[in-house]
Structure 1
């Protein structure tokens, strides 16, 4: 009975203090000591290790070009008159675009009447695409590279095209491909020369074609390609100038 007195006294004392203290200091009826389990944070501090942090996603590089020139002004009036004699509209015919900051196009055509020597028809057009850098889609330059490859494939696959020939085009942008082919339409043999080029985060396609009517000779592919190169260089320079 004497041994139970201290124990009874301890139990009564614990009953008089708040519950939280009872749990902390009176959970043992043997020697008054309690064992506490270490929390996870304490364990982390003891071992000196922490969960690995998820690395942040690397931001894409900003696009170099943020503007496009007016497509109908990307090729000089002098060059237009040189390539398209008797052009119907020197100012060109702009294509429709829902976003002129990202895409645009323009075309010119003309029929030069040479009397008994027949007539020469010419058509010149340009399209310009610009790509912004987007975290979910990649950099503007990478997106332009992908678009460039698609545009080259599209020109090469022109419906009805024959004798398609491709070659690198030097001196016009980071990437450039020259494409020449023939096409029969309106009863005449047309010759086409096109250059698809990538300049930073833009893709420019210039197409120049022609035919001889009423007995006139079909224009030479080399002549058309020479004009296409000149027009393409001016278009690439116009894009750079628009972003100065």
Structure 2
């Protein structure tokens, strides 16, 4: 029996955006492939979804593991209709001359290389069928710089440009590509950034109504559910309390 349900592959599904995206697609009747590094959270999410779900404990930084996971997908979950590259992180907000180089390497390995590994591994399924959609979760930090964003912002600038270049490559193969760029959003993101310091993380959202994971899940699903004659290149989303500041001017420099 041929399965006609649509399938979505989501990285970083154990919390925040990824978890909300999985729940939204499941509510729409999609079959989900959820991946992440925390097995208990994956299993809990899987048990709470209504439709068939395949969970994979996966570190996207490991190309061999990504390749093996995609090759081992049960037939009912292939081919993948939508890939959501959500796995990513920021670490620290120190100036570039003070930051730990290992934090830079981890952000590059996850936000750039992990995204590349998943994209390159799943794309052949889409191209073979002549249909598919890659959604990359970027950030406004990829366009709007701010102090302490150094390598994190640079990795998201990569995501932004790679998404556009990917679309240029794949338009003739009927593959759509979208970059979703959230601004101030309340997830575990800040706790990870400040390495478990809950007070620092909470201060980011003090007296502000930030973007919620469900807001991003809505944007992702909206982008992939447009008619096939439409491609949403990018969506930049800021919280209602967030906007643009004057350029920084430092007095007294010679």
Q: Does TM, normalized by the shorter one, top 0.5? A: no
Bigger Rg, structure 1 or 2: 1
Q: How high is the TM-score relative to the length of structure 1?
A: 0.31
Larger helix fraction of residues: 2
Q: Structure 2 length as normaliser, TM-score?
A: 0.30
